[in-house]
Copies of this chain bind each other. A is one copy, B any other.
């Protein structure tokens, strides 16, 4: 019985994602100059991903946020991930959706050291999600795209619903929960804390 219980306890490390930008190479060159390549400043938990040295300003109808980190490598489409609190400050109202799904996303202006990009779409609040390897998903009986609940304890303890499982051979070996700063603050947790996946309900 104890063994069964242990096997049903999937602990996940928490990582809080602050506002950030993914850029296509075309936008990198508009923002930072022709031929510019992103420079790796710090590697992230997901293999191949890094925080770049480059930063941009986000300029909305109501406000502006400077010094927003660009993540690399470049992608096919530029995507801006902000919290709803950021959205209120900037004057944009982005949908909550999975990274890469930019239908219905909001526009914004990006400003870099060499130029400006007017996005008509690409701003989202990222759906909370857990990255894991196919082998991990198989072990736990999970599949890509499904939702689970995740419990975190503490003075602001809560159970996040609608946590998307994202299975990829490119994932970190250790499963990682990605939530934004509003979600981290609402739960009173910081990067490095641990949550537990709850099945059922």
Which A residues fall within an 8 A CB radius of B? 83-85, 88, 96, 127-128, 149, 153, 155-162, 179, 181-183, 185-188
Chain B residues near A186 (CB, 8 Å)? 179, 182-183, 185-187
* Interface residue from B85, B127, B149, B188 paired with A181 (Cβ < 8 Å): B85
Chain B residues near A83 (CB, 8 Å)? 85, 185
Chain B residues near A158 (CB, 8 Å)? 158-162
Chain B residues near A159 (CB, 8 Å)? 149, 158-159, 161
Q: Are A185 and B85 in contact (CB under 8 A)?
A: yes
A63 nearest CB across to chain B (Å):
12
CA distance in complex: A160, B183 (Å): 12
* Interface residue from B96, B179, B185 paired with A155 (Cβ < 8 Å): B96
Q: How many copies does the complex hold?
A: 2
* Interface residue from B88, B155, B181 paired with A162 (Cβ < 8 Å): B155
A67 nearest CB across to chain B (Å):
12
* Interface residue from B127, B128, B161, B182 paired with A182 (Cβ < 8 Å): B182
A178 nearest CB across to chain B (Å):
13
CA distance in complex: A85, B128 (Å): 18
Chain B residues near A161 (CB, 8 Å)? 153, 156-159
CA distance in complex: A55, B149 (Å): 40
Q: Are B182 and A85 in contact (CB under 8 A)?
A: yes
Q: Are B156 and A96 in contact (CB under 8 A)?
A: yes
Chain B residues near A183 (CB, 8 Å)? 186
Known: A88-B181, A158-B162. 4 other contacts (CB 8 A): A158-B158, A159-B161, A179-B186, A183-B186
CA distance in complex: A185, B162 (Å): 14
In the complex, which residue of chain B has the Cβ closest to the Cβ of A18?
B88
In the complex, which residue of chain B has the Cβ closest to the Cβ of A153?
B161
CA distance in complex: A135, B77 (Å): 57
A183 nearest CB across to chain B (Å):
4
